[in-house]
Amino acid sequence: MLLTPFPEERLDPRVKRTRALIENTFNHLLEEKGFSAITVQDITSHAEINRATFYAHYADKFALFESILRARFRAEMDRRTLRTCTYDSHNLNALMETVCDFVALSASNCKGNDAQFEAIVEAQVRQQVQAILEHWAGQIWPEDPSFNKDRSTAATWAIYGLAQQWSQIKPQQRQPSSQFTKRVLPMALALLHAEPQTISQVG
């Protein structure tokens, strides 16, 4: 299984309550003041939770945000693909659109263009995309796994970079993500299907 959305462990209801409280408060504060302005103090006082309790669940506010992003992105991919773990051109298209929309949505929640914030979003999304593309590359090229890593890495970074660039254009001025994806998807495709020598050398 590629993605394990819900471990669905039976958790102590206190733990469930506390985590939900923390995450909801965090999401609320994120829209209100942006990531860098949020302190653990903020979260715990608004959630009416002891500060030590926060640290019993998350190492710091970064770990909290990462966990939230991971869950959000997985849910979004599951919503947009039939079977995320099966490669076909429709799913690759869906992947890229998902990344575009996800990054754009995140950026809109980000007051003051916070570099920390963007780095965390990037790292999490890239990690998810890389896992999916490595899986897909294994289906396309069942042999020569070493170059599969290069293919999926190049495709992952190119896709994320393009999505991020697109997301930074003002919403009124940019074309919809579906159209943008259609325009640049050939690049990702070329990378995912690339062979070391067969790409034409251009001087």
Partner DNA sequence: ATGCTTATTAAACACCTGTCGGTTTAATCC
Partner DNA sequence: GGATTAAACCGACAGGTGTTTAATAAGCAT
* Site of interaction with DNA (CB under 7 A): 10, 12-15, 17-18, 39-42, 48-53, 55-57, 59-61
Calculate the CA 6 to chain-centre distance: 17
At closest approach, how far in Å is the CB of 22 from DNA? 9
At closest approach, how far in Å is the CB of 35 from DNA? 11
Cα–Cα dist 133/2, whole Å: 11
Tokens 């051109």 found at: 89
At closest approach, how far in Å is the CB of 54 from DNA? 8
At closest approach, how far in Å is the CB of 60 from DNA? 4
At closest approach, how far in Å is the CB of 54 from a copy of itself? 20
**H or E stretch covering 156:** helix 145-167
Q: How many residues does the chain have?
A: 203
Shorter beta-carbon distance to a copy of itself: residue 10 or 146? 146
CA dihedral (157, 161, 163, 164) positive or negative? positive
Residue 109's CB: how many other CB atoms inside 10 A?
A: 14
Specify burial of residue 7 (Cβ count, 10 A radius: 0-12, 13-18, 19+). Answer: exposed
Closest CA to 94 of 152, 159, 141: 159
Q: Which listed option, a copy of itself, DNA, none, makes contact with residue 48 (CB within 5 to 8 Å by class)?
A: DNA
Q: Given the rule CB under 8 A, which residues bind a copy of itself?
A: 89, 115-116, 119, 122-123, 149-150, 153-158, 160-162, 165, 183-184, 186-187, 189-191, 193-194, 196-197, 199-203
Shorter beta-carbon distance to a copy of itself: residue 53 or 138? 138
Q: Which listed option, a copy of itself, DNA, none, makes contact with residue 14 (CB within 5 to 8 Å by class)?
A: DNA
Q: Which listed option, DNA, a copy of itself, none, makes contact with residue 178 (CB within 5 to 8 Å by class)?
A: none
